[in-house]
Amino acid sequence: MSARVLVAMSGGVDSSVAAAILRERGCDVVGIAMRLAPEGSTVATGRRGTCCSYDDFEDARRVAERMDFPFYVIDLRAEFASRVIDYFVGEYVDGRTPNPCVMCNRDVKFDRLWKRARAIQADFVATGHYARIERDAAGRRRLLRAADPSKDQSYFLFNLTADQLARTLFPLGDMTKDEVRARARALGLRNAGKPESQEICFVPDRDYASFVERRADRAALRPGRVVDAQGVELARHAGVHRFTVGQRRGLGIAAGEPLYVRAIDSTTGDVVVGRNSELGARGLIATNVNLIDPSFAGDSLERVEAKIRYRHPVLPATFRSDAGGRAEVMFDRPGPAVTPGQACVFYRGDEVLGGGFIERAL
Amino acid sequence: MRIYLDHNAGSPLRREARDAIERLLGDDVANPSSVHRSGQRARRALEIAREQVAAAIGAKPRQIIFTSGGTESNNAAISGAVNALPARRRIVTTAIEHSSILAPLAELESKGRDVVRIAPDSEGTVAAADVLSALDRNTALVTVGLVNGEVGAIQDVASLAREALAVGALFHVDAAQALGRISIDVNTIGCDLMTLSGHKVGAPAGIGAIYVRDPARVTPMILGGPQESAMRAGTQNLLGAVAFGAAVEAATRDIGAEAARLYALTEQLLAALTAQIAGLSVNGPRDRRVANTLNLTFPGVLGETMLIALDLESVELSMGSACAAGSVEPSHVLLAMGRSAADALSSLRLSLGWNTTANDLSAAATTIVRVWARVSSAEPRPLAAESLT
């Protein structure tokens, strides 16, 4: 009997192609799409009524029909709201810059998909992520960057465990975006040529500040001062949730030299700004660290390359961690602005060693 | 072999309906309104179908208006009554009606009508006295479903007609889930309007009917030509109508014996499941229910996962309602009966019908028990479901 694979399908091109590839390889594919964002918050569902539209998963359905595998839509909105949206709002209110995709993968998607997979006796969970899983000589599964560096999404997957990797498939990991698009066209997918979305799915207009203001308890919002390094007030602001470390625009200050946010103190409400040259950090402290190979944790200094934002090049660094999921990362050369709340992922070459959430810059 | 236990969503095409369609396709029929001989043959086929539908509910053929289905009939009943009695602002219904009743009423409410929704008891039965107490001389329409499609509760509608008449309101009965499941006689019920659906009795979807006791009392549904007594203009769906006529005749022929057969099957299934699934509970009345419907809350699992896992093992059933995207919503019927959202999300509906065999049900029972055991250990109902209200 062929292996049963639960394929997480978004309705987009990538996961549709992933499912088709697995089907062609003879897998017993079960397609599952997840309803995550609340109604009305995605562009596609901007219509009245309580249901999302049939069109949301159009391409997924098309592939399922064409390749003859069952396809279901499951409702994870309640969990998404409590685990992802509440976290997102809470982080901004606390002066940090959250990464909801990482949280969604860890606490909603993979967690639930694994349980659902067992419930339907699936041997593997597959997604359309661009990343690779390899088995080394010792039989250990390693998470690697995608073959196409411009598409690599391994950054978002650092929370996977070795056990999960053994039961996970990323069929697109060796493909380029162009190859995937060609496959999508061959499959007759409607969205084959559509540019992929870069925004956060539940804030399609990218106006995070307004979103936070709508969702947060008003009393929790922290207005305050914009100050320089000496504590001199340069302006007032409506809430620390409107700022992110490294941000330049929207500070409400006319200065000769461009000013950037250096730090945010949600207790006092102070947003500290400075010149570009003052932004750099020597390193960072990360918490909630997951190491795919747990034996990597320890007091010894390890060489890693740290990725402190999805679209940021890696920084050579030394790494030390404790068993409590806390890590200290020191860059070889002073790095750029480090943004608390974002994920810091540790690589060695193409391999993802693990990652965590940035607590503060050093 | 798939086991289909979702007749309340749509009953598979009956052989009688298929035969009727094939006979008609083999005949050169035309527009039933045309004067020529081909038109006359079409007209004859249409009128036979109308007689079959009328006979199934004790109506006269001219009181049957063919529609596109239950949803159209429900919408037409509401707009026909409300437009006929514009000065009356109140509409009385129940909290457990089909969306094709609740949605148009919500629309009317937003435009200033007074909509009263009577809550059922914990078993899904609406007390006639509660409906009666909401009636006044300002009431244009009373609309109640004869059988609830999600939990199978049969409502006592006969006692409502006289009171509705007394205050001058129109009385509509949605019998979409009742036709072919229980005997219906419009004269005993005494209603002004009744909704009938084709695909619930084994005709294809896309055909239904509305019984109109006195066409003079309601406004036409669709304006245009003189078809359907000028109540519903437009060339009739003749293929649908002949299938509906044949299906409803077959579905009502031995209705007592068929109901007894299905009742015994559901009781056996329930006994088997109750013995092996601790904490299983039944939603809906044990006695005053249609024989074919069982709504069950499975402890510690999501109905959604059960639905998928069972489908992968060839047992097809449903939760009450599905959204356009295909995911499931907590049933408004179960919520109105006082079940929590979490329990509603752990509930499944099994609805049997003409092609359900005893073998099907014993195989389904075995599969359901096995799948429940696996799902409840692999994916216990998450806490987040509790917060979904």
CB-based contact A73 B384, cutoff 8 Å: no
Asked if B110 reaches chain A (Cβ–Cβ under 8 Å), the answer is no
Q: Average per-residue pLDDT in chain B? A: 93
pLDDT at A344: 95
Could you say which residues from 46 to 85 on chain A have a Cβ atom under 8 Å away from some Cβ of chain B?
49-54, 56-57, 70, 72-75, 77-79, 82-83
CB-based contact B379 A119, cutoff 8 Å: yes
> How many whole angstroms separate alpha carbon A189 and alpha carbon A183?
9
Residue A79 has its nearest CB partner, among B325, B328, B384, at B384
How far separated are the first and last CA of chain A, in Å rounded? 54
Residue extents of the structural domains in chain A: 4-128+171-186, 222-278
Residues 6+ apart with CB under 8 A from B375: A119, B301, B302, B305, B306, B309
Residue A31 distance to chain B (closest CA, Å) = 11
Q: Report the candidate in B192, B310, B320, B179 with the shortest Cα–Cα distance to residue B252.
A: B179
* DSSP one-letter code for A124: E
> How many whole angstroms separate alpha carbon A194 and alpha carbon A161?
33
Across chain B, the runs of DSSP E, i.e. the strands, are 3-4, 64-67, 90-94, 114-118, 139-145, 170-174, 193-197, 208-212, 281-283, 293-297, 315-316, 347-351
Class of CATH domain B3-10+254-387: alpha beta
Q: Enumerate the residues of chain B whose CB falls inside 8 A of the CB of residue A115.
A: 378-379
pLDDT at A56: 67
Q: Enumerate the residues of chain A whose CB falls inside 8 A of the CB of residue B378.
A: 115-116, 118-119
Please report, for residues A316, A342, B180, B356, the alpha-carbon distance to residue A330 in angstroms, rounded to integers and kept in the order given. Answer: 9, 17, 76, 69
Asked if A115 reaches chain B (Cβ–Cβ under 8 Å), the answer is yes
**Res. B325: pLDDT tops 70:** no
- pLDDT (tens digit per residue) in B113-136: 999 999 999 999 999 999 999 999
Residue B207 distance to chain A (closest CA, Å) = 23
The complex scores an ipTM of: 0.86
Residue B239 distance to chain A (closest CA, Å) = 28
User: Least CA distance to B310: which residue of chain A?
Assistant: A120
> How many whole angstroms separate alpha carbon B7 and alpha carbon B286?
19
> How many whole angstroms separate alpha carbon B34 and alpha carbon B16?
27
pLDDT at A77: 86
> How many whole angstroms separate alpha carbon A131 and alpha carbon A129?
6
Do residues A114 and A125 touch, judged by C-beta distance below 8 A? yes
pLDDT at A196: 62
Asked if A135 reaches chain B (Cβ–Cβ under 8 Å), the answer is no
Domain range A222-278, CATH architecture: Roll (2.30)
Q: Report the candidate in A33, A30, A60 with the shortest Cα–Cα distance to residue A122.
A: A30
Tell me the fold of B15-253: Aspartate Aminotransferase; domain 2 (3.40.640)
Asked if B370 reaches chain A (Cβ–Cβ under 8 Å), the answer is no
Asked if B256 reaches chain A (Cβ–Cβ under 8 Å), the answer is no
Residue of B308, B340, B383 to mutate, testing the A interface (most A Cβ within 10 Å of its Cβ): B308
Residue A102: how many other CB atoms lie within 10 Å: 21
Please report, for residues A211, A271, A323, B274, the alpha-carbon distance to residue B271 in angstroms, rounded to integers and kept in the order given. Answer: 51, 67, 53, 5
CB-based contact B326 A50, cutoff 8 Å: no
Phi/psi-derived region of residue B190, left when phi > 0, alpha when psi is between -120 and 50, beta in every other case: left
Of residues B356 and B389, the one with the higher pLDDT is: B356
Residue of A54, A116, A125 to mutate, testing the B interface (most B Cβ within 10 Å of its Cβ): A116
Asked if A43 reaches chain B (Cβ–Cβ under 8 Å), the answer is no
Q: Report the candidate in B378, B226, B163, B56 with the shortest Cα–Cα distance to residue A116.
A: B378
pLDDT at A197: 62
Q: Is-catalytic flag, A101?
A: no
pLDDT at B388: 45
Q: Enumerate the residues of chain B whose CB falls inside 8 A of the CB of residue A53.
A: 324-325
Active-site residue, from B35, B278, B312, B323: B323
Q: What percent of chain A has pLDDT over 70?
A: 93
Q: Enumerate the residues of chain A whose CB falls inside 8 A of the CB of residue B375.
A: 119
pLDDT at A44: 37
> How many whole angstroms separate alpha carbon A173 and alpha carbon A156?
14
- pLDDT (tens digit per residue) in A308-322: 988 889 999 999 988
A158-183 mean pLDDT: 93
Active-site residue, from A27, A101, A201, A344: A201
Residue A177 distance to chain B (closest CA, Å) = 28
CA B279 to chain centre: 29
Residue of A115, A118, A123, A125 to mutate, testing the B interface (most B Cβ within 10 Å of its Cβ): A115
Residue B323 has its nearest CB partner, among A32, A51, A121, at A51
> For the stretch B191-214, what's the b/e string if a residue is b when 16 or more beta carbons lie within 10 angstroms of its beta carbon?
bbbbbbbbbbbbbbebbbbbbbbe
Residue A72: how many other CB atoms lie within 10 Å: 24
CB-based contact B378 A82, cutoff 8 Å: no
Residue A70 has its nearest CB partner, among B312, B375, B387, at B312
**Res. B295: pLDDT tops 50:** yes
Residue B3 distance to chain A (closest CA, Å) = 16
- pLDDT (tens digit per residue) in B80-126: 999 999 999 999 999 999 999 999 999 999 999 999 999 999 999 99
Residue B328 distance to chain A (closest CA, Å) = 7
Q: What percent of chain B has pLDDT over 90?
A: 88
CB-based contact A52 B375, cutoff 8 Å: no
**Res. B306: pLDDT tops 90:** yes
CB-based contact A56 B325, cutoff 8 Å: yes
CB-based contact B304 A56, cutoff 8 Å: no
Please report, for residues A169, A330, A341, B15, the alpha-carbon distance to residue A338 in angstroms, rounded to integers and kept in the order given. Answer: 32, 12, 9, 71
Work out whether the CA dihedral B304, B306, B309, B314 comes out positive or negative. negative
pLDDT at B326: 63
Residue extents of the structural domains in chain B: 3-10+254-387, 15-253
> How many whole angstroms separate alpha carbon A128 and alpha carbon A156?
12
- pLDDT (tens digit per residue) in B15-54: 999 999 999 998 878 999 999 999 999 999 999 999 999 9
Asked if B389 reaches chain A (Cβ–Cβ under 8 Å), the answer is no
> How many whole angstroms separate alpha carbon A8 and alpha carbon A114?
11
Q: For helices B303-312 and A110-119, what crossing angle results, to 10°?
A: 50
- pLDDT (tens digit per residue) in B231-288: 999 999 999 999 999 999 999 999 999 999 999 999 999 999 999 999 999 999 988 8
* DSSP one-letter code for B62: G
B355-366 mean pLDDT: 96
Q: Report the candidate in B165, B171, B113 with the shortest Cα–Cα distance to residue B137.
A: B165
pLDDT at B322: 62
Q: What percent of chain A has pLDDT over 90?
A: 44
Backbone phi, then psi, for B260, in 5-degree steps?
-65, -40
CB-based contact A118 B379, cutoff 8 Å: yes
pLDDT at B387: 45
Do residues B180 and B244 touch, judged by C-beta distance below 8 A? no
- pLDDT (tens digit per residue) in A67-104: 999 999 888 888 899 899 999 999 998 989 999 989 99
CATH code of the domain made up of A4-128+171-186: 3.40.50.620
CB-based contact B384 A72, cutoff 8 Å: no
Q: Is-catalytic flag, B323?
A: yes
CB-based contact A54 B325, cutoff 8 Å: yes
CB-based contact B324 A118, cutoff 8 Å: no
> How many whole angstroms separate alpha carbon B350 and alpha carbon B340?
20
Q: Average per-residue pLDDT in chain A? A: 86
Asked if B373 reaches chain A (Cβ–Cβ under 8 Å), the answer is no
Q: Enumerate the residues of chain A whose CB falls inside 8 A of the CB of residue B307.
A: 72
Please identify which residue in the block is written with the tokens 């947060």: A216
